[in-house]
Chains A and B, each alone.
Chain A
Amino acid sequence: MATSSKLLTPKDQVSTRTLLHEAVPVTGQIISGTYGVDATLINDAPNIKNYAHGMFQSVYDYPYLSSSANHIIDLTVGYSSNSVLSKSDPTDAVQQTKKINIYNEMAQVLVGFNTSGSIREFDEDGDLTQGTKIQEAFFFNFTRLLTKDEIKKGSFTLELGTNADYDDPFSAGSAHSGSITLTDASGSTGYKVNSPAGEYGILYATSSQTSGDENPLVNVSSPADGTSCSPAGLIYYQAGIAVITASVFSTLLASPPSASFMLPAEASAVGLAGSLTGSLTGSSISGNCSFLRHRIENVSFNNTTELNSTVYFCRANHNEFNCSSNKTYTSGSKFVVKTNANDPSVAYPTTVGLYSADNELMAVAKLSEPLKKDPTTEFTLRVRLDY
């Protein structure tokens, strides 16, 4: 009697998880400049969406009115109410309340609350009990489309231009490298878990200028190893959010004309100093985001998608599945695959059906080609079901 079905035991099935990654480069060309209609009107770029609420700015990889465009990043900026930038009179700073609200919102989601119920501030080394806090920060909210389940630890890179000249942000100046690179090089093993939003890593700043850089974040004696450099931000892997301290632009603290974080034309138009601090207090959130975009040379990371699978090992022993009930198997009451009556039974399995406990066909696995099965052979078909 031919065996047509067989019970799968617990030993015949195993659940596995596979990690599929994608390499995601986002160049500065995409973020700033490519679709700008006028270099002096950075907010006019058709792939940048600003909102009436003014709380953040959305970046697309193509003019967002096109159905081809993908939403890739939301940018925003904020500072703590404990920051030196926080004015006692909110009207002294543009959108101060919103900037503090943004900071608090991001902090309560990503850092959480302390025992007294107060919102914790971002900590530059992840030790929430002590150390330097990040009180002025730029926030990169990457979309799910890019980050998928999470950003792969140890793969995040952000290159920023820090040259004083607004029109030439990536060129090296006399005392600094021109651009710095933020990486979570130690993230694969040195990530933190004390966040309500999941795991996060520390972003360290490096530059091509090995010493003497006036940027204190990279002015270290041995920057070859990313972990020996100064922390410059945090990357939340599952949330897909990068928090960058505004100190990365510490070379732009001076006022114009020696340094300008702001678009010079806009700085002079509103009568503000174009320095970083002047921009953070005197310019809107969307304006600061635009100035930040102007200084992004490259963002890249690997994302991760978790694929859960169950593998069923369907074992056909030597004395099983050697016959078929297919109508082509017999002709004139004889097995067509047999020449002589003494020939062993032979079958050609083409399909594996998976049935539920109540004998309902749940799934069908097809072989790329029929397998010859006779009493001298046995094999195990590995059926993988992804979900």
Chain B
Amino acid sequence: MPYSYYNFTRNDIFVNTLTLFPQVKFLVYSGSAFYNDNPDMSGSFTSSVNLCSASNISLFELNVDRKETATGRTIGSVDDNGLIYPFIIKDGARLNFRTGTTSSFINTDFGKPITGAAYPYTASISKEFYGPWTNDSWFRTNSGIVTPGETPRFLWSWGSSTLGVNITGNVSHLLALKNSINDYKVNSPHFEYSSSTTSVNLGISNRDFQSSSVGLLSIPSIFYGSAIKRGSITLEFYFTGTLIGRAEDKLRNGELIETYNNTEVRAGSSSAYDAADLTTLSGSVVGLVLYEQGVILLTSSAALNTSVDNYTGSTADNPRWTYFAQSLSPNALPTFPPLVFGKPMPIPVFPGWSNMPSSSFIIDMSGTTETQVITMFATAPKGELNHSNNPSYLQNSWYTSSYTASVSSDKSGYLELDRKPIKNVVSSAYNDPTGSFEKTTYISKVGIYDAHRNLIGIAKSATPIRKTIERDFTFKMKLDI
């Protein structure tokens, strides 16, 4: 009787983690970003097949080449607008979509659908530029202090002077990163939101993120996984197609160090920028990377070139590291929704960018993904698994004949034949006779069972494995979990 089931022993199963570093590349030019060299693809109905630009990742990749259209039809209890979209039925669980408002939720009757936004749900790289701080105040208002291309550091509203100051507002992403920036100080003294005396004494420039000119690149985690790989980041700044600067985190500590600059271009320096920067910039830290957060901070305001481009609105300026990927920033003043006294400042609406023809940028890096893999070893020992219940295991004539089984003469039992010839499949140099008989099976599958003998998985070999009494095999099975 062949054994069919074996227990995995302690050494037959182990779980390990497979760490991979997928490459991530963005090319940024003229307001557009291209992820891993993917082009913008137009469809038959839409200007973009995935309804998003090439810099985006579409979460579910649904609604391919579909256009929102009022069809006048309904699908069950919801409208058919030509797009796939999610919805739930309001019930006692009081669940709502994150994008839904409280008022609309309250106004929806129980048993009625609450719809979410139509797909795609996308993520993309973004850039915020915080200009140099010239105001003594901590706050920036909607009164025009913010220049085009610049992100406000703090949005606020206040009460009248007769009623006393009543300040409410929203902080910028830069300020929200204060603790995260300071947490990286163990890697490098450059990671200080506000420079301490200690770091200044170490020769690190006295800097306060609250008042310095900073470029903030945000990369959603769907692009890189659990963290950006240390030492993999390369930023390249091109002007009219010529590389004018490269920065890398070659020390793997989060410091972005300029490793290349186009000295020939710089040799033509003029009074448009401070020529002293040229001698100090190469090899110096021009930015910082928060690996786990997917954030790149560009801190160097030194000019890279004597040429100019419209990095902030219509004002021409020299290329600088803080302007890296600046074409993803808005180029005009944001539109501010109406203020309500005593309420937090509403998030402004930023216009798109269109006018930065000479500058292009490349971000090259690797992400980190971790996949847990369970590995199982199933051993077919010598002398076992040498019999099969497959009908083809027996000689064809015997299997199909009436000799396979019978009912006893007194009909008291079912008699299985005690002798059934097994087909001899031993290879021989001659058609007849065949080789000496040897019990042979061909293993084609390994079934994985749980403790209750429920079949929970099947591993199939590419080709059946010939198993004889003298041979033993170990099947190595891997499963991503």
- Residues on A facing B (Cβ under 8 Å): 16, 18-25, 27, 29-30, 34-35, 61-62, 66, 68-70, 145, 152, 154-155, 157, 298, 300-302
Contacts and interface: CB of A to CB of B under 8 A. Distances in A.
B421 to A, nearest CB: 29
A31 to B, nearest CB: 13
A107 B377 CA distance: 39
B75 A157 contact: yes
A301 B75 contact: yes
Interface in B43-89: 43-45, 49-50, 61-62, 64-66, 71, 73, 75-89
B88 A18 contact: yes
B64 A25 contact: no
A21 B88 contact: yes
Identify which of A20, A21, A62, A68 gathers the most chain B CB atoms within 10 Å of its CB.
A21
Given A61-B65, A69-B64, A25 B75 contact: yes
Given A34-B44, A68-B64, A21 B84 contact: no
B95 interface: yes
B41 interface: yes
B49 A22 contact: no
B64 A24 contact: no
Interface in B317-347: none
B89 A62 contact: no
Contact of B75 (A29, A66, A155): A155
A18 B75 CA distance: 20
16 contacts: A18-B88, A18-B95, A21-B113, A22-B87, A23-B76, A23-B84, A24-B84, A27-B82, A61-B64, A61-B66, A66-B49, A70-B64, A155-B76, A157-B73, A300-B75, A302-B77
A157 B43 CA distance: 26
A70 B86 contact: no
A11 B43 CA distance: 54
Contact of B76 (A29, A66, A70, A302): A302
Interface string B86-125: 1111000101000000000000000001000000000000
A25 B93 contact: no
Nearest to B82: A25
B62 A152 contact: no
Contacts of B66: 30, 61
Nearest to A26: B84
Contact of A23 (B41, B45, B64, B87): B87
Interface in B24-49: 41, 43-45, 49
Q: Which 8 A-B pairs have the closest CB atoms?
A: A155-B76, A300-B75, A302-B76, A23-B75, A62-B64, A25-B80, A23-B78, A22-B86
Nearest to A301: B75
Interface string B269-293: 0000000000000000000000000
Given A22-B87, A302-B75, 6 more contacts: A24-B75, A25-B84, A61-B65, A62-B43, A62-B64, A70-B61
Nearest to A25: B80
A34 to B, nearest CB: 5
Contacts of B73: 25, 157, 298, 300
A302 B44 CA distance: 25
A35 B44 CA distance: 8
Contact of A68 (B61, B78, B83, B86): B61
B85 A23 contact: yes
Nearest to A159: B73
A70 B44 contact: no
A105 to B, nearest CB: 20
